[in-house]
A and B are shown apart, each in its own frame.
Chain A
Amino acid sequence: MFCDSRGMPARCLVVDDNERFLFVAQRLLGAGEVLEVEGATDIASAIDVFDRFHPDVVLIDVSLGTESGFGLAHMLIERAPDIASRIIIISTRSGEDYEGLIEDAAVAGFISKSDLSVEAVQQLVAGLG
């Protein structure tokens, strides 16, 4: 079960500048009630949600319009170093292209948007709660 220590759904923040994808991702990940999902479309709103929602896992698109998803990951890690191992980079592009950046950022890993699922998130971020 992907829940926190109180048996509550784990909190998941998805950050993606494509609103259509964000809507569908929230629906997909929230469908089984094992994740409580909130979304943000840019760095400023992502930080607002992060501070208020205290997510257990954060999914960030590589490219947020003119902003960088890796840039956001670094900002979140500066605010809360423990979050690094619970940040997942997502993209429609190949994860192999971003291997170096993912290693440098020391985040949990990468999920292709086509393969997004609760199970894929669980595989990268185990033992929440």
Chain B
Amino acid sequence: MDGTDRAGRVDELEAYLEAAFAHSEATYQRLERELHGRTSQRLVALALDLRVQEASASAGTPEHENLTRVISAITEMAAELRLIEQSIFPSILIDAGIPAGLRSLSRRATILVDVHAADVVRFPLAIELAVFRATSAAIDHYTTLGARRVDVTVAIDESCLRLTIASDAGAEDDDPFGLIGRGQIAAAGGRTSDDRLPDDATAIVATFERSRSANPANGG
């Protein structure tokens, strides 16, 4: 295989990688939408429907108590289903972009996750998903290592988005994004590197060029 063949093969493999992530994210998005639209919404509507009946039943009667119990169970099921939906696909990215997506990860984390992403504008969905998935993988990684704190910073300049993640449990040979996270970053046209912070700690960085955005997989 000469240099031209090798370059062509690399391009082909990159295209496969990009298509594989776009396909899997589109599948996750469809599943989440179906669960949300068909099941979650129906459960919530059913609970509201029963609340109308509950309001017309006399308080303290067995009928009222039964309705209250069933409504509570359905509401609990709907809440559990929402958590499953969130774990399948982060629809918050579609609605509100990276800052809201990362804040949702922070709220669900079991350790302190400080997010700095205030002025981040919209990027193609493939990049937003890579940022979200890689950050989620890093939070899981550092949580497993026993970290107490993770700092997530997203900075934008004219052409680039730069995701920096630092933790009080990081080590130099760490791989917080993992193979899948790095693969998704690469498929979205990004690259990863280590960064030396002022206090001599190491942070992991993912950089995306807006003009090199991969298949956006934007589904609305």
Contact = CB atoms under 8 A, between A and B. Distances in A.
A and B together in one complex: yes
Q: How large is the interface on A (under 10, 10 to 19, 20 to 34, 35 or more residues)?
A: 20 to 34
Interface in B1-50: 36-37, 40-42, 44-45, 47-49
Contacts of A101: 95-96, 100
A21 B104 contact: no
Contact of A24 (B40, B45, B94, B107): B45
A100 B44 contact: no
26 contacts: A18-B41, A20-B41, A20-B42, A23-B45, A24-B52, A27-B52, A28-B49, A28-B51, A28-B52, A31-B52, A31-B55, A63-B91, A63-B94, A92-B36, A94-B82, A96-B103, A96-B107, A97-B100, A97-B103, A98-B92, A98-B100, A99-B100, A100-B96, A100-B99, A101-B95, A101-B96
Contacts, number: 76
B40 A98 contact: no
Interface in A29-44: 31
Contacts of A25: 45, 48
A113 B103 CA distance: 22
B48 A116 contact: yes
Contacts of B47: 114
Interface of B: 36-37, 40-42, 44-45, 47-49, 51-52, 55, 75, 78-79, 82, 91-92, 94-96, 99-100, 103-104, 107, 220
A57 B34 CA distance: 30
A93 B92 contact: yes
Given A27-B49, A31-B55, A18 B82 contact: no
